[in-house]
Amino acid sequence: MLDCGSMYFPFKYLNGVSIRGNPRKVDFWRPIIHKIKANLSMWKGKLLSMAGRLCLIKLVIIASPLFYLSFFKAPKQLCKTIRTIQSNFFWGWNSEGKKIHWVAWNRVCRPVEKGGLGYKDVQKFNFALLAKWKCRLRTGEEGAWRDVIESKYGNWRKMKDSMVERKSCHWWKNLCSICEVNNDSNWFDRRIRWKHGNGRTIKFWEDCWVGDKPLKES
């Protein structure tokens, strides 16, 4: 009656983000792997200089998986695969095979001022993009997405309590836990500083708004 076809889950939305897939499985990320491999192919590595490969890797890692990394927590195996593709492409290829990787990849990913080349580590980049959702919840940004989340889980101050609820969706669980990884408990909150305004959202005693610690810890 509407003269349109039926769709089935999972399907692609907007810039290729898969809806109702399982982001915890590597198969969910196969399209991203194929895109990165296509953009960082061997023949490009042969023709480009090291500076050219540097620019291309930075461009590809920002453009290709950006929407996926903004919404889903990437599996460790996927991050390892992407790092391998980047590293092999960066150090170049010849007729006899790949060249020696002279420097560890974690050192290459350091900021330029710390002796690295400024590459984005895939896993840390993923955590930063997901943590941005928590930041948007804290800053009071308005929107239908915020109304839906707060009606279901409460405001951002209840994120730790929501993390243990079994009813919560995987996206919300990942968002709640993403800021407390790598044995660096609550790194997000410890790096946030409140700007004291009218006092409606800030907690004078519990929030960090003066100095490096909340007043209750000082």
The answer to whether residues 182 and 195 touch, using CB atoms and an 8 Å cutoff, is: no
CA atoms within 13 A on the CB side of 168: 20
pLDDT score of 95? 46
User: Three-state SS across 114-169?
Assistant: HCCCCCCCHHHHHHHHHHHHHHHHHCCCCCHHHHHHHHHHCCHHHHHHHCCCCCCC
User: pLDDT, tens digit, for every residue of 90-141?
Assistant: 887 654 565 778 888 888 888 889 988 888 888 889 988 988 888 888 777 7
Query: In the prediction, which pLDDT does 163 show?
Result: 53
List per-residue pLDDT tens for the chain, 218 residues long.
Answer: 888 888 888 777 766 677 777 888 888 888 888 888 888 887 777 788 888 888 888 888 777 788 888 888 999 999 999 988 888 888 876 545 657 788 888 888 888 899 888 888 888 899 889 888 888 887 777 888 888 888 888 777 767 655 556 677 888 888 877 766 554 566 777 777 777 778 777 788 888 888 778 888 88
Q: What integer pLDDT is reported at residue 152 of this predicted model?
A: 84
Long-range Cβ contact pairs of 116-119 (< 8 A, separation 24 or more): 117/54, 118/58, 119/57, 119/58, 119/61, 119/86
